[in-house]
Amino acid sequence: MPKKRRSRANTKQIARERVRILWELARERALENPHLAKQHMADARRISRKVRERLPVDIARRLCRGCGMVLIPGRTCRVRVRHNRQTHVAVTCLSCGAIRRFPVRRQR
Ligand SMILES: [Zn+2]
């Protein structure tokens, strides 16, 4: 591997692509091999951290914050719409039981 010859922008671009690829792999494997899927996402996090970026929002919100599991409704997580207080979607990770809540904004 050549050392540090890529520009910073290029490095970030490559990092993002790798994160995408790992995400796709993790999603494909989430059901048959959750452990491997978690491993992929741990790698993705490490890559993001290296270039000082966060995981893309669309990926981050489909991962369990507790255990890093890929959240697939009806398979690895339970999704419920709750109407107590503010209407929100409660996502329960079936792997570790962590609950995440996403507020629902009604459009009028
Ligand atoms: Zn979890």
Look at residue 3 in the predicted model and tell me its pLDDT. 63
Q: DSSP of 48-104, one letter per residue?
A: HHHTT-PPPHHHHTTB-TTT--B--BTTTEEEEEE-SSS-EEEEEETTT--EEEEEP
| C-alpha of residue 83 to centroid of ligand 1, in Å | 23
Which residues lie near ion ligand 1 (Cβ < 5 Å)?
Answer: 64, 66-67, 69, 93, 95-96, 98
Look at residue 8 in the predicted model and tell me its pLDDT. 75
Look at residue 7 in the predicted model and tell me its pLDDT. 78
* Domain coordinates in residue numbering, the chain: 8-103
Q: What is the pLDDT of residues 39-89, one digit of tens each?
A: 999 999 999 999 999 999 999 999 999 999 999 999 999 999 999 888 999
